[in-house]
Amino acid sequence: MRIVMIFAGVLAVSVAAGSFLYMTQTGPEEISLEVASKPGARADKARVFGGRAKATSPSPIGDNITGARSHSGAGRAGVTHAKQPEGIGMGTRRAAQSGGTSFNEISAGTGAANYAPGELLVANPPANFENLVVSQGFEVGGMLQLRSLDMKVLRLVTPANVSVTSAVQRLRQQFPGATTDANTLYELSRGGAFPESYARMLIGWPGVPKNCGAGVHLGMIDAGVQPSHPALAGTDIEYRSFLQSGRRPGPANHGTAIAAMMVGKPQPGKGWGGLLPGARLSAANIFQFSTNRKVTASARGLLEAIDWMAEQKVDVVNMSIAGSKNKVVRQVVETARAKGLVLVAAAGNWGTAKRPAYPAAYSDVIAVTAVDADRRIYEFANSGKYIDFSAPGVRVWTAIPGGGQYQSGTSFASPYVSVLTGLVISRGHPRDPDAIRKTLRGKVVDLGDAGRDDTFGWGLVDMQPQCVKVARANVR
């Protein structure tokens, strides 16, 4: 195992009644993870709506880079919301598509601060920009060199007594050619008893051989991962952390759960076998303890992690995180798409259509919502025009440090679509989210209203893998 480490971000953790809650404040840009509810909690309440179902290298700024590579070590009528008793929400997704709502592009100043205080990000600043802003009282915190994306992002510290919102507005007016926004914070999203195999059965994905997915390279941007967990020991995982210098990584519960869902070893009786255990996984941690002992992730860490995924040339990136919109992040996501990086994200657990979760709500990202064993929508799932597909995400048995736990949230639905996307891309499918959407639309069970709707998207993905070693025929 080789060890390396990268730091850059902010997050908020609350420990209560045996649960970890990853939440960020509200503001310019945020990303969220889900909450773990008590293992024995029951999800038995539901909301029903009309409808029907039919088959159908990071560049540090005085930061460290941490990493480790381990090779050892049926449709229901209507729309029903399955309630998760003690779960807390996760993400949102891309800007409204044609015909939808246009969202305010200034993420700063919308509600309580969900961004790092006193920090701005500026993508591809013009010549002499640094001297000009320093003369106005700004301090240069460093330059992120996103080499794989051919981008530079400058980090600025605002002048004393100047709010982040005011600073963003000022620089956007003075330098309209530059992309400026706050250093948004993000959340994670996560909940014990269904048969352990229900999620696989729901999407037509039975048990798989241990080499299923060989030749596929998956990526994930999430929280910490415990590569030594029995579900992950011996799998092909490279792990890096993109955290602010001197900050400790946050808990590894959420990241370990997602990683094991994607590539965990099949273990009868344990219930945490991965979807593609033979695949390679590049895992990026962007969540850390802040100075006030909360767990947060920032836009800055997210940008570095996306750049690393481009460098790794992964087939797909899973992002079980959520936050508000951010112009700099949007530009990086657009650049990543242009370079062939396919992104899949959790739709968010805020239980509303009024607050889209990003990065899922960007049109360049495929958004996934969660349903339960009865194909009822997760009660806290977001809805909106950005929702693309549904997958199991309520009371899913997951691996966590020290064992396993049932968890709920859109965080646990997106890996299903991510691994399917990686599988088809590894076989030569075009690296384009719209092309992926078109392919997956032919492999769904339509839930809710006929065709695409704002609750289930195109429906529940129902696609079985052909687990043979893939031919790397596609050219990047």
Q: Yes or no: say if 345 and 366 are a contact pair by the CB < 8 Å rule.
A: yes
Q: Which of the four pLDDT bands, split at 50, 70 and 90, describes residue 2?
A: very low
120-129: pLDDT as tens digits:
999 999 999 9
With 60 as the cut, is the pLDDT of residue 5 above it? no
Domains of the chain: 2-94+189-461 (3.40.50.200), 115-187 (3.30.70)
What percent of the chain lies above the pLDDT cut of 90? 56
User: How much is the pTM?
Assistant: 0.76
> Can you read off the two tokens belonging to residue 397?
């048995």
- At residue 74, the pLDDT reads 34
Model confidence pLDDT, tens digit, residues 8-21: 333 333 322 222 23
Confidence of residue 113 (pLDDT cuts 50, 70, 90): low
φ, ψ of residue 387 in degrees (nearest 5): -70, 125
pLDDT given for residue 314 in this prediction: 97
pLDDT digits (tens, 9 = 90+) for 317-367: 999 999 999 999 999 999 999 999 999 999 999 999 999 999 999 999 999
Average confidence score pLDDT of the chain: 76
Report residue 1's pLDDT band, with 50, 70 and 90 as the boundaries: very low
Q: How far is CA 388 from CA 164, 307, 330, 434, in A?
A: 33, 25, 18, 10
CA triplet 317, 322, 323: central angle to 5 degrees?
Answer: 125
State yes or no: pLDDT of 195 exceeds 50. no
| pLDDT of 309 strictly over 90 | yes
- Residue 184 scores a pLDDT above 70: yes
Cα 405 to Cα 395: distance, rounded to the nearest angstrom: 9
pLDDT at 204: 60
Residue-wise pLDDT for 132-173, tens only, equals 999 999 999 999 999 999 999 999 999 999 999 999 999 999
Mean pLDDT is lowest, of 41-50, 247-256, 334-343, for 41-50
Q: What are the structure tokens assigned to 150, written together? A: 């051919």
Stronger pLDDT, 226 or 187, i.e. the higher one: 226
Give the type of residue at 443.
Answer: K
Q: pLDDT at position 104, please?
A: 29
What are the tens digits of pLDDT across the range 255-281? 999 999 999 987 766 666 788 999 999
Tell me how far the alpha carbon of residue 232 is from its chain's centroid: 20
